[in-house]
Chain A
Amino acid sequence: MNRERRIPRKELPPEERVKNFDEVAIGYMKEEAIEEAKRCLQCREPRCMKGCPVGINIPKFIRAVKEEDFVRAIKIIKENNFLPSVTGRVCPQENQCEGSCLLGKKFEPVAIGALERFVADWARDNNIIEKPEVKVSNGKKVAIVGSGPSGLTCGAYLANLGYSVKIFETLHKAGGVLAYGIPSFRLPDSVVEAEVEYVKSLGVEIEIDVLIGRIFDLKELFQNGYGAIFLGTGAGLPRFPDVPGENLNGIYSANEFLFRVNLMKAHLFPEYDTPIKIGRKVVVIGAGNVTMDSARVARRLGRDVTVVYRRTEVEMPARKEEVEHGKQEGLEFRFLVSPVAFYGDEQGNVKIMRCIKMKLGEPDASGRRRPEPVEGSEFDMNVDTVIIAIGQSPNRLIPMSTRDLQITRRGTIVVDEHEKTSIEGVFAGGDATTGQATVIAAMGSGKRAAESIHRYLSSK
């Protein structure tokens, strides 16, 4: 056993993966997982667990892996995490469990994410569906709005506690960002579908094509016998830079671009009916996970792709791994540059992006140095397609249709530490309350909200 270095995770070679949407990171084989599990120090006071927003008993499940008892391992994980094959793939482990791993102080931390993914995939491949013991039905109904990770988690917990749970989802497919946002080369559709099926198997009902705020407002949900409501509506509204020419043809929001490809399979047009059109020179504006996902999708559609960011690589909020993957796949980067206007041809297709150079000034509220334009440094870039990935705001339909629901100036729903909103019986979590964050944070808040709803309905 090598304490210093982790068992490397295999990846598809970049030349190959830019040609398809197959998963980039290849999971551990059984032997690799067991070897990696042996590296765990089994700390008596595990720091990794503190780094996990849902508090998985990490040393315990790793020990089960080491002992080749994967059934026990999945049981332990599922006590606190209903979607491990998702989080094993998309969690920023480097800032969470692995970032807190004691071994990591001197050597490479234990590959907790890869082990989690291994266990979850193993269970799925072997059809081992570990279900927690479901309490008998208590006859109480809870409505959940949104089928993203926060809603799925909240629903799963409540179902286990004996509640009858219904999730309402406006799109034609459940999963939230997992279904429409994160591309399949990071999170295959089959994984998301299996996790959604699992949540359904716990007794959670999911109804698609229902826009809450239109078909029912919150008052009507209460009238229909739901004792409590959880809002997991996410942060799905794309922001635009508010510069001239931003509505030219060929300028997409990242959401539109990803929605077309991931959810509607536009890259398979005309087999699928939804089209997508991208030109030879693609520019993606932004620096987060969404930016990297859009850029890597565009690259797979066979185009020259440049990521344009107004700060530098150090400030990029995207996961390091994603930036690395993107570089291997041939993405170009232009730092300290920001768009000021777009110009098009006669048909209104974008052709030129006028940019201004930036320099970094004093740190702002986020602690990152504030980008400032360098006067007179405008220059033009030739572009055929622009994807704007500069952030998303919370969905606003429910706040709009619900008087008394307190929201912040940024549009996020105000909640206390128990995920309670300003309206009795209404709880909220995930990106709708925090602005765009992470899958695991959304799950953590879904879990907290479930506990809070349970307390609320038990006391009624």
Chain B
Amino acid sequence: MHEIFKKRSLAPGYTFFVIKSPRIAKKIEPGQFVIVRVHEKGERIPMTISDFDREKGTLNMVVSQVGKTSRLLASLEPGERILNMLGPLGIPSDIESFGNVVTICRQGTAGALYSIIKALKKAGNRVTCIMGAKSRDYLVLENEIGAVVDELIIATDDGSRGVKGYAVSALREYLKKNQVDYILTIGSSKMMKTVGKIGKKYGIKTKASLGAIMLDGTGMCGACRVTVKGNTRFACMDGPEFDADEVNFNELIRRQSFFKEEERLAMELFEEGI
């Protein structure tokens, strides 16, 4: 189980996997995630599934190499197995007929959006995707997403593709000219916080998929807790999507950085080959 079937590099630091995992593939819905562990002394980390094929029994995953565990994960080769994989976890994304939908992401988080976009399209929505990246070299799944959405807007920091600037600026521009019924954002907490504010300003229902720190992924530890509308919620069980303007993003950003020093140390030792 959980054998790497295919692998390719999408951009510097982003790896795409197709994983044989028939049981999870049979049950997973867009927006859900898995928890993986890659070696006997390894940690448990959440990974969003970018797509699945129930017939072939496969899951697609975009791995952003941000820390030791994701680096180790990305180093697996076809034929190798992921030691532990638990899922599907979390509540599936809301798939309804909203009308005009805007999805907004940056670099690797496009992976997490892919199957949701497909489902939103299937439900009859007009879907726009605003994709941000440092430069055109860092665009992830540009063609794949481009092939399913009605409109793809690219914003790069250096202007090497699409408009120059951040994805949120592109969103602001877009909203000036278009009527939108639903916004879904997956990205850094900082970006999602801004998107939530913009959505609120226009009175558009806006959801954000939160990247909280997780351990078990089943509600047993509370590491993933977030404050939503003043109440403590568990991102793994009650989320990962919440109404963006109700999330206390400042708290989430602080919680996400709690183990920053440890993560850096682990990465340094890993790079030194220790």
A396 at the interface (CB under 8 A from B): yes
Query: Cα distance A250–B215 when bound, in Å?
Result: 15
A 145-189 contacts with B by CB, 8 A: 170-172
A275 at the interface (CB under 8 A from B): yes
Pick the residue among B83, B87, B89, B219 that contacts A396 (CB under 8 A): B219
A242-273 vs B, Cβ < 8 Å mask (1 yes, 0 no): 10001111101101100110001100011111
Query: Cα distance A236–B227 when bound, in Å?
Result: 21
B76 at the interface (CB under 8 A from A): no
Q: What's the least CB distance linking A317 to chain B, in Å?
A: 21
Pick the residue among A240, A259, A269 that contacts B215 (CB under 8 A): A259
B262 at the interface (CB under 8 A from A): yes
Q: What's the least CB distance linking B89 to chain A, in Å?
A: 7
Size class of B's contact patch? Answer: 35 or more
Q: What's the least CB distance linking A203 to chain B, in Å?
A: 22
Chain B's closest residue to A214 (CB) is: B88
Query: Cα distance A285–B42 when bound, in Å?
Result: 30
Pick the residue among B69, B255, B259 that contacts A277 (CB under 8 A): B259
Query: Cα distance A242–B223 when bound, in Å?
Result: 15
Residues of A within 8 A of B27 (CB): 214-215
A237 at the interface (CB under 8 A from B): yes
Decide if B42 touches A273 in the complex (CB within 8 Å): yes
Query: Cα distance A269–B265 when bound, in Å?
Result: 10
Decide if B221 touches A270 in the complex (CB within 8 Å): no
Decide if B254 touches A347 in the complex (CB within 8 Å): yes
B85-127 vs A, Cβ < 8 Å mask (1 yes, 0 no): 1111100000000000000000000000000000000000000
A395 at the interface (CB under 8 A from B): yes
Query: Cα distance A396–B236 when bound, in Å?
Result: 13
Decide if B254 touches A348 in the complex (CB within 8 Å): yes
Decide if B221 touches A238 in the complex (CB within 8 Å): yes
Residues of A within 8 A of B41 (CB): 265, 271-273
Decide if A238 touches B222 in the complex (CB within 8 Å): yes
Task: Given the known inter-chain contacts A255-B220, A255-B221, please indicate yes or no for A270 contacting B265, CB distance below 8 A.
Answer: yes
Residues of B within 8 A of A271 (CB): 41
A211 at the interface (CB under 8 A from B): yes
Task: Given the known inter-chain contacts A172-B37, A247-B227, please indicate yes or no for A256 contacting B221, CB distance below 8 A.
Answer: yes
Task: Given the known inter-chain contacts A260-B215, A270-B265, please indicate yes or no for A237 contacting B258, CB distance below 8 A.
Answer: no
B10 at the interface (CB under 8 A from A): no
Decide if B219 touches A249 in the complex (CB within 8 Å): no
A 96-117 contacts with B by CB, 8 A: none
A25 at the interface (CB under 8 A from B): no
A261-298 vs B, Cβ < 8 Å mask (1 yes, 0 no): 00011000111111101000000000000000000000
Residues of A within 8 A of B87 (CB): 211, 214
Decide if A170 touches B86 in the complex (CB within 8 Å): yes
B263 at the interface (CB under 8 A from A): yes
Decide if B218 touches A264 in the complex (CB within 8 Å): no
Chain A's closest residue to B258 (CB) is: A249
Pick the residue among A214, A265, A269, A396 that contacts B262 (CB under 8 A): A269
B 2-40 contacts with A by CB, 8 A: 23-24, 27, 37
Chain A's closest residue to B218 (CB) is: A170
Chain A's closest residue to B67 (CB) is: A273
Chain A's closest residue to B248 (CB) is: A247
Chain A's closest residue to B233 (CB) is: A247
Decide if A395 touches B232 in the complex (CB within 8 Å): no
Query: Cα distance A89–B102 when bound, in Å?
Result: 58
Decide if A259 touches B258 in the complex (CB within 8 Å): no
Decide if B24 touches A215 in the complex (CB within 8 Å): yes
B226 at the interface (CB under 8 A from A): yes
A339-360 vs B, Cβ < 8 Å mask (1 yes, 0 no): 0000000011000000000000
Select the residue from A210, A273, A395 with max chain B CB neighbours within 10 A: A273
Q: What's the least CB distance linking B75 to chain A, in Å?
A: 14
Query: Cα distance A277–B220 when bound, in Å?
Result: 19
Decide if A273 touches B220 in the complex (CB within 8 Å): no
Query: Cα distance A242–B44 when bound, in Å?
Result: 27
Decide if A273 touches B68 in the complex (CB within 8 Å): yes
Residues of A within 8 A of B188 (CB): none
Q: What's the least CB distance linking B238 to chain A, in Å?
A: 11
Q: What's the least CB distance linking B24 to chain A, in Å?
A: 7
B247-266 vs A, Cβ < 8 Å mask (1 yes, 0 no): 00011001101110011011
Residues of B within 8 A of A396 (CB): 219, 237
Q: What's the least CB distance linking B228 to chain A, in Å?
A: 11
Pick the residue among A236, A238, A270, A273 that contacts B69 (CB under 8 A): A273
Decide if B84 touches A172 in the complex (CB within 8 Å): yes
Query: Cα distance A347–B250 when bound, in Å?
Result: 10
Select the residue from A238, A255, A275 with max chain B CB neighbours within 10 A: A275
Query: Cα distance A253–B219 when bound, in Å?
Result: 11
A397 at the interface (CB under 8 A from B): yes
Residues of A within 8 A of B269 (CB): 270
B43 at the interface (CB under 8 A from A): yes
Residues of A within 8 A of B68 (CB): 273
Query: Cα distance A363–B254 when bound, in Å?
Result: 42
Task: Given the known inter-chain contacts A211-B87, A211-B89, A214-B89, please indicate yes or no for A249 contacting B255, CB distance below 8 A.
Answer: yes
Chain B's closest residue to A220 (CB) is: B27
Chain B's closest residue to A264 (CB) is: B43
B136 at the interface (CB under 8 A from A): no
Task: Given the known inter-chain contacts A240-B222, A347-B254, please indicate yes or no for A256 contacting B215, CB distance below 8 A.
Answer: yes
Pick the residue among B43, B226, B251 that contacts A274 (CB under 8 A): B43
Pick the residue among B86, B215, B237, B258 that contacts A209 (CB under 8 A): B86
Decide if A208 touches B84 in the complex (CB within 8 Å): yes
Chain A's closest residue to B39 (CB) is: A273
Residues of B within 8 A of A210 (CB): 86
B225 at the interface (CB under 8 A from A): yes
Query: Cα distance A274–B259 when bound, in Å?
Result: 10
Decide if A247 touches B255 in the complex (CB within 8 Å): yes
Decide if A215 touches B232 in the complex (CB within 8 Å): no
Decide if A209 touches B220 in the complex (CB within 8 Å): no
Decide if B86 touches A211 in the complex (CB within 8 Å): yes
B216 at the interface (CB under 8 A from A): yes
Decide if B86 touches A273 in the complex (CB within 8 Å): no
Contacts A215-B23, A247-B251, A347-B254 aside, 12 further interface pairs with beta carbons under 8 A come to A170-B218, A172-B37, A172-B84, A215-B88, A236-B219, A238-B221, A249-B254, A259-B220, A264-B44, A273-B43, A275-B262, A395-B219
Please list the 4 inter-chain residue pairs (A to B) with the smallest Cβ-Cβ separation, ordered nearest first.
A348-B254, A275-B262, A256-B221, A273-B43
A residues engaging B (CB < 8 A)?
A: 170-172, 208-211, 214-215, 236-238, 240, 242, 246-250, 252-253, 255-256, 259-260, 264-265, 269-275, 277, 347-348, 395-397
